[in-house]
Structure 1
Amino acid sequence: MTLLIDSGNTRIKLGWCHPLTGVREDQAVSLHADQLDQLASWLEAAHAPLQTFANQKGVQALGVNVAGPQVQAQIDAAVRRLGLGPVRWLQAQEQVFGLHNDYEQASQLGADRWAALLGLSDLLAQEHPDEQGALLISFGTATTIDLLGPAQNGIRHFLGGSILPGPSLMLASLKQNTAQLPQAHGQTAAFPRNTQSAISTGVAAAQAGAVLRQWEKGRQHLGHSPLIFLAGGGRALAQQELSEQLHHHCRLIAIAPPTLYELDTPALRGLALFACRN
């Protein structure tokens, strides 16, 4: 078994993969850095007994980390306490597993974004036509909106993407940097009539507008409508607004609106590729 670790700015997502069979965890777990003492009990509950890990030779843990060196050191220590070998921390590459990274400097792409794009590229190869491009939107602490081109001769290109503050960060910034605005938990509305709703609507509209912009840029560049995949814990706030904006926009240009597909842990799927193929 190989432990899979996606260490983000807010949460640490954990899964596992059998490198020979490709069997994965039934459900990934999400922890804060101060909850890493629960790692052993989660592995047992997830039917990945520690002795299976401890008896394996070679790489036993794969991860990506964007939370900084302190959190990485905490994870390394927790993994060592399990009796596993050192974590192999991955960085973005120029090309691997049929995905080419078009970033000007490939290594500057966030490791978590790269792993998630690899996971989406693998999903597309399994379940969607090669000629279809796709947009991956991850609503985390930051929202990232990344475009994959269609496969040509077995290679897809990550064409680039945008970054903006995620929904929770937008909400928190209004509370922290204004004298009277609260941390909002209101419902979105066409014409908000209370402050909670006004803030939630504004944040949802900003997120949806950024996605719509990148989707339309992708449609113009590719010559077809890219598929849309949503990930990240903050997607619930923006999803309905995004659907409405897309439907309205597509009516104006007389095309069918895209389906919004949800992905729970694309970065762990990307890490599983390394576990199974390396």
Structure 2
Amino acid sequence: MILCLDSGNSRIKWGVHDGTLWLAQGAVPHARLGELAQLPTRWPEVSRVMLANVAGEAAAHRIEDALGGWRELVQEVKSSEFAGGVRNGYRQPERLGIDRWCALIGAHAMVAGPLLVVMAGTATTVDTLDDEGAFLGGMILPGIGLMLRALARETAALPFANGKHDPLPRCTDDAIVSGVLEAQAGAIERAFRRLPGSNGLCVLSGGNAARIAEHLSIPYQLIDNLPLEGLLRLAQESSV
């Protein structure tokens, strides 16, 4: 049994897999990561712990401390030149964010063909994967919340908007929210047009994925917790 942990900027997502299916998945904010201490009691059969962490070394240590007796089982995954059927085209492969790397591996394992892999969380990442599993490059832009906070913080008159999307907004809150969502969707659609081949698909994951997806005019699929899927593939690959 495998525990996979995706430690992002805001939350730690976790999933327990028995080799056939996910038995449970969940998430805790970093401020409450002590709740992870419940996992060894709930799932004592776990024999491996796979960790993808972008929240810094201190967060990794806190996660290991919370896991108590499982500390020795933790394998912190790093980006590499090749793994899980994906070839890393970054100029410095080890500098690719591990959440992006795991999401690419998970997407490639689950969906055939050229893919645009979008992780929509605190930041939005938009990565291009060809049908042979080569990561060709990608973009990072502020996520929805960051864009909204930037406008509220860095301008004198604009609020932290609580509006709705409208093709022709007629109030400030709607204008801000519509602009942010259109910016996210527009960046994704521009990247999609550069996908190699003619049968591409956009795969989206993350807390804001569904909110962005409803404004896309390209073929897409929502998949929960893509980095966990990638971690699972890496664990299975290393056990062969």
- Does the alignment pair 1:227 with 2:208? no
Residue number among 118, 121, 128 corresponding to 1:147 in the alignment: 128
Partner of 1:5: 5
- Please list, as runs of the form range in 1=range in 2, the aligned pairs for 1:108-257 lying within 5 A after superposition: 108-124=95-111, 128=112, 132-151=113-132, 156-218=133-195, 222-242=196-216, 246=217
- Contact 1:76 1:86 (8 Å CA) reproduced: no
Amino acid corresponding to residue 37 of structure 1 in structure 2: G
In structure 2, do the counterparts of structure 1 residues 215 and 24 end up closer, same or farther at CA, with 3 Å as the change threshold?
same
Structure 2 length normalisation: TM-score? 0.92
- Does the alignment pair 1:78 with 2:66? yes
Instruction: List runs of 5+ in structure 1 lacking aligned partners.
Output: 247-257
Partner of 2:237: 277
User: How far has the Cα of 1:91 moved from its partner?
Assistant: 1.0
Q: Aligned partners of 2:197 and 2:30: how far apart in 1?
A: 43
Q: Aligned partners of 2:223 and 2:76: how far apart in 1?
A: 23
Partner of 1:31: 28
User: How far has the Cα of 1:97 moved from its partner?
Assistant: 2.3
Q: Aligned partners of 2:43 and 2:73: how far apart in 1?
A: 18
Q: Aligned partners of 1:99 and 1:23: how far apart in 2?
A: 22
The answer to which structure has the higher strand fraction is 2
Q: Aligned partners of 2:158 and 2:201: how far apart in 1?
A: 37
Secondary structure in structure 2 of the residue aligned to 1:185: coil
- Cα deviation digits, residues 212-248 of structure 1 (max 9, x gap): 1100111xxx231411111111224322222xxx2xx
Instruction: List runs of 5+ in structure 2 lacking aligned partners.
Output: none
Structure number with bigger Rg: 1
Of 84-93 and 266-275, more deviation after overlay is shown by 84-93
Q: Aligned partners of 1:186 and 1:238: how far apart in 2?
A: 15
Taking only the aligned residue pairs, the percentage that are identical comes to 35
User: How far has the Cα of 1:179 moved from its partner?
Assistant: 2.2
In structure 2, do the counterparts of structure 1 residues 235 and 274 end up closer, same or farther at CA, with 3 Å as the change threshold?
closer
Partner of 1:96: 83
- Does the alignment pair 1:266 with 2:226? yes
User: How far has the Cα of 1:25 moved from its partner?
Assistant: 2.7
User: How far has the Cα of 1:82 moved from its partner?
Assistant: 4.4
- Contact 1:11 1:30 (8 Å CA) reproduced: yes
Amino acid corresponding to residue 225 of structure 2 in structure 1: T
Amino acid corresponding to residue 148 of structure 1 in structure 2: L
Secondary structure in structure 1 of the residue aligned to 2:167: coil
Amino acid corresponding to residue 262 of structure 1 in structure 2: L
**Backbone CA RMSD of aligned residues:** 1.7
Instruction: Give the number of equivalent residue pairs.
Output: 238
- Contact 1:33 1:74 (8 Å CA) reproduced: no
In structure 2, do the counterparts of structure 1 residues 260 and 64 end up closer, same or farther at CA, with 3 Å as the change threshold?
same
Structure 1 length normalisation: TM-score? 0.80
Secondary structure in structure 1 of the residue aligned to 2:9: coil
Amino acid corresponding to residue 164 of structure 1 in structure 2: L
- Contact 2:209 2:222 (8 Å CA) reproduced: no
